[in-house]
């Protein structure tokens, strides 16, 4: 193969090589088709040969008339080249990148991965408990940076297949989807079932080390089942068949061993492969649902039996028998794919208007709970949001107190920036799914003023009005609740503009009849109250992004008191 066309500058003089724990070396840099060669001018004629294929990434930094290249290698060594002329620095960087990318084309054609690209180095990080037990460690994996170039190409070619095959009930690892969507969907379903006097039984599944138990053989079979391109299947198959790993300790790396199960940690493809893998499980479960055995929740005639975010799965049914049937089939088909349910952490929850469920997994009764922490949000059996708001404010208060050193030592403008970036996001996690009452708003306002008093170091004994504190900070009004309003209104616009599961949950109706008495406040009532017109009108306006943005700004802008 001819490499001349990729080499813009074949030789550069007066280059300084800097390496850790080694004296600097000055000499001539030569760029060849396979190597970077640095030859010193000293009497010992020291040389360094570096394969392009051993370079993971190249970073350049120009300064003055010259520049510096940082070459990050697969053995985690970083080499620095100080090049006196900026143009030469740019040319060498582009040459090395071009030559290293040739390897990707060769791998794609031959379907064979370089040995260094299939290696992973695990670094154990201790958790709580007895550190003599391996289970009390978590690991992070270091993989080749250069391999991520080809993995990214494969991922791009898989994206369309994932969007076609993976159902809307899976919100993990999807573009424009997140934890907020599944929290919202579950909250709206609980709200509508309660309003229509429909029973709702929930099962929250916990798998035992789901990502680490994936069968490589069954994963490849799943890719074939979904008719993925044969080239992609072969590349993934060879990657997993040949992968090896080592554990890095204080004494260096333990010997290399084969990894026989689990998706690769830190790999770009792993989330997509896991989504397809679990999708095949849920399709097998759905195929068993003859004559509506699962008693699925129906929204406008559409059956909903599960909500997933990665491996966090919530099962839904209108009857105890339906939930039990659904749970047993999920267990059976998960075991067929080497995924095991953790009975101790799998929970069952019944809405406050439903009889209690009694479900056994491996002859062990699942715990029946009245609240559950789902994707970081507190889900209550009666659908109330206030406990979740209290929990978020308590966590944010704890975080606020843990940063006392900052509140005592930094300037007020800097403290305000830290407050808005580190404390307020903790308090408002999941706020787009909240249905707010007047008391909830009062608690949010009180928390915000507590934060301001803390950063201004005003004791609770000081007789200072809230307005005087806002004036000292140069603010006309409180900001936290205003931010929550903006976030919730923007999320409403996002939901009604896209034909996703969230829109079905928001606009769909659950079969049943409302009870007597005043209904509980709905999620959509906040939208109509803040905008000043009906939810239907807001949905129509939301299709015009600019018009809806103006309406949100008008609803949340400061208004001078009369």
pLDDT tens figures, 309-358: 999 999 999 999 999 999 999 999 999 999 999 999 999 999 877 777 78
Whole-angstrom distance, CA of residue 214 vs CA of residue 459:
55
53: pLDDT confidence band, cut at 50, 70 and 90? low
Closest to 509 measured CA to CA, from 196, 300, 302: 300
CB 358 within 8 A of CB 352: no
How far, in Å, are 79, 83, 336 from residue 66 at the CA level? 17, 6, 60
Query: pLDDT by residue (tens digit) across 364-388?
Result: 889 999 999 999 999 999 999 999 9
Question: Region 31-56: what's the mean pLDDT?
Answer: 69
Whole-angstrom distance, CA of residue 295 vs CA of residue 453:
53
Whole-angstrom distance, CA of residue 555 vs CA of residue 549:
10
**Is pLDDT of 1 > 50?**
no
SS (H, E, C) 68-123: EEEEEECCCCEEEEEECCHHHHHHHHHHHHHHHHHHHHHHHHHCCCCHHHHEEEEE
Structure tokens at 337: 């794919």
Place of tokens 């709905």: 522
Question: Region 33-52: what's the mean pLDDT?
Answer: 68
How far, in Å, are 228, 376, 395, 399, 400 from residue 385 at the CA level? 43, 13, 16, 22, 23
More confident residue, 130 or 246: 246
More confident residue, 477 or 9: 477
Question: Region 234-242: what's the mean pLDDT?
Answer: 95
Question: Region 78-94: what's the mean pLDDT?
Answer: 88
Quote the mean pLDDT of the chain.
88
Q: What percent of the chain has pLDDT over 90?
A: 55
- In this prediction, residue 207 carries a pLDDT of 94
- In this prediction, residue 560 carries a pLDDT of 66
Closest to 33 measured CA to CA, from 71, 7, 15: 7
Give the least confident one: 71-80, 428-437, 502-511: 71-80
- In this prediction, residue 413 carries a pLDDT of 93
CB-count exposure of residue 447 (10 Å: 0-12, 13-18, 19+)? buried
Long-range contact set of residues 391-394: C-beta below 8 Å, sequence gap at least 24: 392/426, 392/427, 392/428, 392/429, 392/430, 392/431, 393/427, 393/443, 393/444, 393/447
CB 198 within 8 A of CB 304: no
Whole-angstrom distance, CA of residue 26 vs CA of residue 46:
10
Task: Give the gyration radius of the chain's Cα atoms.
Answer: 29
Question: Region 144-154: what's the mean pLDDT?
Answer: 84
561: pLDDT confidence band, cut at 50, 70 and 90? low
**Is pLDDT of 44 > 60?**
no
Question: Region 236-265: what's the mean pLDDT?
Answer: 88
Whole-angstrom distance, CA of residue 171 vs CA of residue 177:
5
Structure tokens at 292: 């509506």
Fold matches, 4-110 and 165-231+267-380? no
Question: Region 261-271: what's the mean pLDDT?
Answer: 92
**Is pLDDT of 98 > 70?**
yes
Q: How far is CA 105 from the centre of its chain?
A: 30
Strand arrangement of the beta sheet that strand 11-19 belongs to: 47-51, 35-40, 22-31, 11-19, 78-83, 66-73, 55-63
State the distance between the two ends of the chain, measured CA to CA, in whole angstroms: 79
**Is pLDDT of 93 > 50?**
yes
The 8-class DSSP code of residue 521 comes to P
Give the least confident one: 69-78, 459-468, 474-483: 69-78
CATH entry 2.30.29.30 includes domain 4-110: yes
Ordered by start, the domain boundaries in the chain are 4-110, 165-231+267-380, 386-497+532-556
**Is pLDDT of 251 > 60?**
yes
Whole-angstrom distance, CA of residue 190 vs CA of residue 353:
11
CATH architecture classification, 165-231+267-380: 2-Layer Sandwich (3.30)
CB-count exposure of residue 475 (10 Å: 0-12, 13-18, 19+)? middle
């Amino acid at each position: 193969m001819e490499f001349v066309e990729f080499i813009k500058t074949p030789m550069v003089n007066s280059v300084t090589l800097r390496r850790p724990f080694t004296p600097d070396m000055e000499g001539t840099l030569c760029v060849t088709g396979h190597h970077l060669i640095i030859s010193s001018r000293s009497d010992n004629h020291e040389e360094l040969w570096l394969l392009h294929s051993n370079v993971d990434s190249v970073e350049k930094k120009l300064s003055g008339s010259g520049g510096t290249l940082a070459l990050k290698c697969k053995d985690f060594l970083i080499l620095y080249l100080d090049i006196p002329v900026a143009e030469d620095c740019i040319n060498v960087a582009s040459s090395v990148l071009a030559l290293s990318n040739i390897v990707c084309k060769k791998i794609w054609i031959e379907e064979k991965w370089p040995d260094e690209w299939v290696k992973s180095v695990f670094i154990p990080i201790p958790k709580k408990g007895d550190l003599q037990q391996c289970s009390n460690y978590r690991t992070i994996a270091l993989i080749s940076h250069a391999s991520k170039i080809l993995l990214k190409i494969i991922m791009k070619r898989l994206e369309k297949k994932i969007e076609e095959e993976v159902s809307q009930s899976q919100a993990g690892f999807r573009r424009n989807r997140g934890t907020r969507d599944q929290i919202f969907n579950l909250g709206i379903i609980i709200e509508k079932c309660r309003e229509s006097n429909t029973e709702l039984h929930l099962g929250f599944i916990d798998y035992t080390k789901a990502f680490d138990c994936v069968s490589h053989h069954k994963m490849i079979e799943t890719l074939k089942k979904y008719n993925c391109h044969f080239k992609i299947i072969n590349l993934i198959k060879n990657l997993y068949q040949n992968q090896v790993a080592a554990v890095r300790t204080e004494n260096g790396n333990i010997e290399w061993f084969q990894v026989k199960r689990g998706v690769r940690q830190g790999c770009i493809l792993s989330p997509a492969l896991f989504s397809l893998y679990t999708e095949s499980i849920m399709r097998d479960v759905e195929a068993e649902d003859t004559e509506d055995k699962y008693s699925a929740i129906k929204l406008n005639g559409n059956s909903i039996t599960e909500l997933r975010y990665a491996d966090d799965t919530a099962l839904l049914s209108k009857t105890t028998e339906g939930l039990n049937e659904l749970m047993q089939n999920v267990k059976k088909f998960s075991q067929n794919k080497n995924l095991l349910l953790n009975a101790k952490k799998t929970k069952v929850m019944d809405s406050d208007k439903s009889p209690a469920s009694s479900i056994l997994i491996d002859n062990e009764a699942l715990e029946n709970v009245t609240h559950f922490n789902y994707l970081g949000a507190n889900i209550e059996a009666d659908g109330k949001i206030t406990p979740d708001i209290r929990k978020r404010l308590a966590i944010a208060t704890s975080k606020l107190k843990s940063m006392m050193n900052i509140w005592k030592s930094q300037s007020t403008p800097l403290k305000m920036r830290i407050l808005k970036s580190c404390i307020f996001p903790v308090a408002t996690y999941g706020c787009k799914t909240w249905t707010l009452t007047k008391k909830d708003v009062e608690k949010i306002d009180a928390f915000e003023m507590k934060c301001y008093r803390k950063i201004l170091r005003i004791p609770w004994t000081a007789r200072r009005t809230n307005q005087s504190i806002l004036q000292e900070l140069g603010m006309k009004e409180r900001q936290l609740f205003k931010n929550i309003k903006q976030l919730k209104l923007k999320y409403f616009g996002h939901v009604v503009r896209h034909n996703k599961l969230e829109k079905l949950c928001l606009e769909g109706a659950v079969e049943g009849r409302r009870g007597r008495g005043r209904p509980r406040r709905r999620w959509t009532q906040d939208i109509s109250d803040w905008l000043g017109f009906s939810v239907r009108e807001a949905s129509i306006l939301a299709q015009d992004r600019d018009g809806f943005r103006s309406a949100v700004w008008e609803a949340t802008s400061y208004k001078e008191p009369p």
